[in-house]
Structure 1
Amino acid sequence: MSEVGIDDKNFKIMAHKACRGGILNGYKPLIEEDVEKIYRMCL
């Protein structure tokens, strides 16, 4: 993400939008905090 100019200041908002305020369903359901952690690992 840092290669395209994305930093961590908006991760909380991005995670909220990805989960639409709830749970992101998939192979393993993810909550906003999980998604935010994944974003941080991508830096």
Structure 2
Amino acid sequence: MYNFVEIGIDDTNFKVMAEKACRGDVLQGFKHLTPKDVENIFRMCL
């Protein structure tokens, strides 16, 4: 399993990526995720 650093991804665009993943809203599911939650998940992948 690779992390983001190993495949050349840094945190430059995490905020934009999280907003796009959530489509500017909250992701519904077992656990509701805000764009900030998704951004934090991305940071854990570094």
Task: Please report the TM-score for the alignment, with normalisation by the length of structure 1.
Answer: 0.93
**CA root-mean-square deviation:** 0.6
Give secondary structure in 2 for the equivalent of 1:40: helix
Q: Percent identity?
A: 63
Question: 2:42 & 2:27 partners in 1: Cα distance?
Answer: 14
- Which residue does the alignment assign to 1:12? 15
Larger radius of gyration: 2
Give secondary structure in 2 for the equivalent of 1:38: helix
TM-aligned CA deviation for residue 25 of structure 1: 1.3
Segments of structure 2 that go 5 or more residues without pairing to the other structure are: none
Aligned length: 43
